[in-house]
Amino acid sequence: MEVLSLSEVFVRKFDVPILSDISWSVKQGEQWAIVGGNGAGKSILLDTIASRLMPRSGKIRREVRPELVATDYSFNRIVKSAAQYYQQRFQSQDAEIAPTVREVLTNRLKPVGTIDDASVQLGPETVSRERLLEVSELLSLTHLLDHPFVTLSNGETRRMLLAISLLKDAGLLLMDYPFTGLDVFSREVLRNALSAMAAGGKTILLVTSPNEIPGFITHVLELEAGTVKHALPRYEWEKVRGSFGIRQDHQVVDTELLKELGIPEHDDFEYAFRLSGTRVVYDGRAVLDGVDWQVKKGEHWALSGPNGSGKSTLLSIITADHPQRFANNFEIFGRPKRGQGLSMWAIKQRIGHVSPELHLYFPADTTVYKTIGSGFFDATGIYFKKIDESQDARIRLISKILRIEGLLDKIFKNLSKGEQRLVLLARALVKNPPLLILDEPCQGLDLATTEFFKQVVDVICRNSRYTLIYVSHYPNEIPSCVTKKLALKNGKVDSIDERST
């Protein structure tokens, strides 16, 4: 029995052709991975199957109901507004009144700002307690059910979003890079959960990296430039890949262009930051507990630790985004936190930052040019200052370095996720800051673009005046310039390696 079939499907998005002549079928018992380079049309294909986009021509038959697993909070109006209001973890003084994971999973949500609970009439419960516990245990969420959802780590959030879809009992599950941002434990939890679902009769289609295809996958669809390159049983595709590999354009860093970046500004300091006994508490629970860390100018560090270990919270102290930073003892760019300290905006002016949260909340209706330019003003795409001539030149230089100059006039939301990530990387680099904080910067990038970006970071960091903090759950994504490592676990320093290589 065919669960899904597409015949000569042609899809445009915002009048741009994305998919062309897609003919493909999925039979009961088959589990498919969808692979391909950036801009190949993978996510658009999932949106089309889920009826979020309608094909201009061709036919699609669905014998079971598809469910596209959310990758952000736009699936629910109240959840989205709550997430924006609490700004993920950073407005933590209000986090205790945010909806809990249990309330999100059971869709029993009160609008943000509700004062009188009796004024809100909730609908009938649609998820039984037994089913909720079953799915929560499958995804290791049981211990988080009564936590405010805004305090979850990136990996915990992704497991919660998957749980929402599982509770709907759809027969066809569509997933877009489900392993992105997950630590080793969370990836194993997810692989085991998906394998159990496949064994239980669900059909799973997941977009993923060719190097991260789970064991239960039986078939592989490879897209190239919006067309089907291969649709094969896995063992046949692996033979083809072994012979030819997935085509990846070889990209070489233009070192002469990189020289035009010049030296970073505002780098008159010995230490980028010094943290002593850093502690952050949410509702009586210590997310960071006594963290000491000092980073000198020109050092290149990896920050590691499992999901929920406190990495993002620690970075938010450094980037002046966390309200509890003034309750801690720290020095940033040679200045204390108070008195002669720098303002929040002066700190941000010295930091180039990219993170999963930035991607999640970034305004999507602005142009790529303005998105990159917002990095000068530490705004999120919409600002009122005019780009001057020198800033315009920097925008065009960094877009050329990252090979996205052809995207400048496009709208951010119309780009593929990989292209969006490159644009946000350009935004982090455009003002040439002395401190780069790159939190999972290669999420959504294909293999060739990941390698290219690592080369860019390596070449930039050959100038010892740049300081780098790099976060990734994948050791192969960490640039070779990184010589030091701090590892967190349960909010404490688990290990620190300051050896230079």
- Taking only the tens place, the pLDDT of each residue in 23-54 is 999 999 999 999 998 889 999 999 999 999 99
Report pLDDT for 492.
95
Report pLDDT for 420.
87
Query: Mind spelling out the 3-state secondary structure of 410-468?
Result: CEHHHCCHHHHHHHHHHHHHCCCCCEEEEECCCCCCCHHHHHHHHHHHHHHHCCCCCEE
Cβ atoms of 276 and 456 within 8 Å: the answer is no
Cβ atoms of 204 and 34 within 8 Å: the answer is no
Report pLDDT for 329.
82
Report pLDDT for 501.
45
* Cβ count within 10 A of residue 435: 25
What is the separation of C-alpha 313 from the centre of its chain, rounded to a whole number of angstroms?
16
Please enumerate in sequence order all residues whose Cβ is within 8 A of that of 151, keeping only pairs 6 or more positions apart, or say none: 89, 92, 95, 98, 282, 287
Measured between alpha carbons, how far is 201 from 467 in angstroms, rounded to an integer?
50
pLDDT digits (tens, 9 = 90+) for 158-207: 889 889 988 988 899 999 998 887 888 888 888 998 999 899 999 999 99
Report pLDDT for 202.
92
* pTM for the predicted model, two decimal places: 0.82
What is the separation of C-alpha 438 from the centre of its chain, rounded to a whole number of angstroms?
11
pLDDT digits (tens, 9 = 90+) for 122-166: 777 788 999 999 999 988 899 999 988 877 777 788 889 889 988
The residue count for the chain: 501
Measured between alpha carbons, how far is 280 from 182 in angstroms, rounded to an integer?
23
Cβ atoms of 155 and 308 within 8 Å: the answer is yes
On the 0-12 / 13-18 / 19+ scale of CB atoms within 10 A, 241 is middle
Per-residue exposure over 85-124, b if at least 16 CB sit within 10 Å of its own CB, e if not: ebbbbbebeebeebbbbbbbbbbbbbebeeeeeeeeeeee
Q: Enumerate residue ranges in the chain where pLDDT < 70.
A: 75, 77-78, 80-97, 111-120, 243-250, 283, 337-341, 380-384, 499-501
Report pLDDT for 92.
45
